[in-house]
Structure 1
Amino acid sequence: MLCLGIETSCDETALALVDKGKLIGESIASQIDIHSIFGGIVPEIASREHLRTLVPLFDDLLQKCGVETKDIDLIAVARGPGLLGSLLVGLGFAKGLALALDKPLVGVNHLYAHLLAAGLEQEIEFPSLGLLVSGGHTHIYFIRSPFDFELLGKTLDDAAGEAFDKVAKFLNLPYPGGVYIDRFAQEADPDPGLFPRPYVDNDNLDFSFSGLKTAVANFLKKNDHLVLKSMDEVAPGFTPGLELAAVCASFNWTIAETLKIKLSRALKRVKPRSIILAGGVAANTLIRQTIEDLCQKENLPLVLPSKKLCTDNGAMIAYYGEILGVAGLKHGLDLEAIPRGKKIPWDYIKD
């Protein structure tokens, strides 16, 4: 089943074709350079860029893959969570194609697609314990199958990715700042006592990184010499001072340890056959290593997507969309976009 995946939930416009669980091709347009001017994503600009680039990307994808529109069997689209304006652009494009080509339409939960994305590269053993770490979400799921996700713990305020971006902004690092914190952190050893591990003195599986963000902000007020005078300082070949590198390493370590504590706690409640690490922050070097060490200790296989599948992409939408389509699940043209903060219903129509 040749499935077209459409991803426009945030600031990446991405399209991909998947057939029988294999990636045929993908096209993607990043908006990083545009939003970096503002130090973060501007929703109105993001939706306009999706509108501008979707059709050219679609034409490019078909040409690269040697595919015609009539060859597409199923159209999958990210319905949420995400920026509402951005989601609506992708949803409108998907509905138009489905109507014009008389093809079935399936809406995909963006978070579930992230968790299953590694299935494009390796087999996932179910049930699995999934840790999703991104800019907007830090969630733990017990995944019994691609059709059965149980949310065990969730973000209560700031997600891990948001904390990375905010701390990078405090330090006057370029956007997106998480990659710079990760790189600088490798230049020094962390001080485990520098920042508190947030929201771990409890017995639940939820996350809260707002307190950590505040702790870093207060530290930098007392040590403002660590804040770069200009983002332009971070040019190719830039090496941070040892003190700045140590701050980044300590912050990085604190987030990684917090994730490990909560995931270890979840393993005492459920018995998975594998652990999945997914989402944009799953590309972080220390977080990947920390969760890999935990899996070795627990004698569980780690399902870790390649870094290109950690960030938002069309391949994960097409892959999960095909799984849903093969199972006979679809949506009508009344499919709605679901913004961040609202629960996505399991409202598929059984074909």
Structure 2
Amino acid sequence: MICLGVETSCDETALALVEDGAVLGERLASQEGLHALFGGVVPELASREHLRKGAALYTSLMNSTGIDPSRVGCVAVARGPGLLGSLLVGMNLAKGLALGLGVPLVGVNHLHAHLMAAGLERGLPFPVIGLLISGGHTHLYLIRSPFEFELLGRTLDDAAGEALDKAAKMVNLPYPGGKFIDRLGRGVTPDDTLFPRPYTSNPGLDFSFSGLKTSVARYVADHPHLKLPVLPEGELPHVPGLGLFCASINSAVADTLRIKTRRAIAAHPEARALVVAGGVAANSMIRTVLAGLCAEHGLEAIFPSLSLCTDNAAMIAHLGCLLAGAGYRHGPELDAIPRGRPVPFDYARAAV
């Protein structure tokens, strides 16, 4: 079955065609340059850009692949969590396409799609521990199948990616700042006494990064030379101590993730692998730390390619294809779920 995926949960407008785990084609329009002017995503602008780009991306995708629309067997769309306005634009596009093509509509949990993205490159040895780390979410799951996700822990306030982005903003690094924190900290030995491992004294599996953000703000206030005088547009200038700062904040986040994930692994010895997904899964230090954790416990560490870590439509189409193949689908009443609300598993089930 060929599935057409639509992703507009935040600031990436993306469409993709996937058939039985193989990506046939994809189109993406990034809004990173637009939102960089404001130091973060502006929801209203994001929605307008999705509306402006969506139909054109569909036409470009179909033309570039040469696939006749009649071969599309289902349309999958990211229904949440995300920015409500952005989600609604993608939802309306997907509903129109599903109706026009006469095929089933499948709403996809954006977070679950991230964790299944590695399935586009290899099989996943269920059950697995899933760690989703992004700008808006830090979640731990026990995943028994593409349709069975048990939430073990979640962020109570700031997510890991948000902490990194806010730390970068405090020293005037460009948006999105997490990747610059990672880049500037590479090859620098961190000072693990500078920043705390937040909420790790709590024995549970939930996360909280607000305390780390507060600690970073105090450190920057005490070391004002770290803050770049103007937001750089080209090559980043050399600032004494900035590399150590970046490496140390990166280490604090990576170590916090390691501590909590180790507890999840210990609590679920049936897990055969650790799947790490989301935009922050591209962070080099976090990958190294979590790969080391898996080696200690004899688990396979599974990271998707960097292009599959960020928001993309291939992961939506992939999970949508699996859901549709199992008979799961939605009607035209499908609603969008904004961030902060759980995405229900409310599919109708058709015979397959």
TM-score (norm 2): 0.98
Asked if the contact 1:188–1:242 (Cα under 8 Å) also holds between the matched residues in 2, the reply is no
Structure 2 residue 62 is matched with structure 1 residue 62 = yes
- 1:24-35 to 2 correspondences below 5 Å: 24-35=24-35
Match of 2:82 in 1: 82
Match of 1:328 in 2: 327
SS in 2 for 1:305: coil
Asked if the contact 1:197–1:258 (Cα under 8 Å) also holds between the matched residues in 2, the reply is yes
Q: CA deviation at 1:68?
A: 2.0
Match of 1:279 in 2: 278
Q: CA deviation at 1:160?
A: 0.5
Q: Cα deviation per residue 1:93-133 (whole Å; 9 max; x = unaligned)?
A: 01111111111000000000000000000111000000000
Q: CA deviation at 1:242?
A: 4.2
Q: Could you tell me how far apart the structure 2 residues matched to 1:288 and 1:214 are?
A: 25
Amino acid paired to 2:274: I
Match of 1:213 in 2: 213
Match of 1:341 in 2: 340
Q: CA deviation at 1:341?
A: 0.3
Q: Could you tell me how far apart the structure 1 residues matched to 2:25 and 2:295 are?
A: 34
Match of 2:264 in 1: 266
Q: Which one of the candidate residues 241, 244, 248 is aligned to 2:242?
A: 244
Structure 2 alignment gaps of length 5 or more: none
Q: Could you tell me how far apart the structure 2 residues matched to 1:17 and 1:136 are?
A: 26
**How big is the alpha-carbon RMSD for the aligned residues of Structure 1 and Structure 2?**
0.8
Q: Could you tell me how far apart the structure 2 residues matched to 1:293 and 1:246 are?
A: 22
TM-score (norm 1): 0.98
Once the two structures are aligned, what percentage of the paired residues are identical?
A: 56
Amino acid paired to 2:305: S
Amino acid paired to 2:245: V
Q: Could you tell me how far apart the structure 1 residues matched to 2:56 and 2:100 are?
A: 18
- 1:20-169 to 2 correspondences below 5 Å: 20-169=20-169
Q: Could you tell me how far apart the structure 1 residues matched to 2:340 and 2:83 are?
A: 10
Match of 2:17 in 1: 17
Asked if the contact 2:273–2:299 (Cα under 8 Å) also holds between the matched residues in 1, the reply is yes
Asked if the contact 2:188–2:244 (Cα under 8 Å) also holds between the matched residues in 1, the reply is yes
Q: CA deviation at 1:240?
A: 3.2
Would you identify which runs of 4 or more consecutive aligned residues in structure 1 move more than 3 Å? Answer: 238-242
Q: CA deviation at 1:239?
A: 5.2
Structure 1 alignment gaps of length 5 or more: none
Q: Cα deviation per residue 1:264-284 (whole Å; 9 max; x = unaligned)?
A: 011111120111000000000
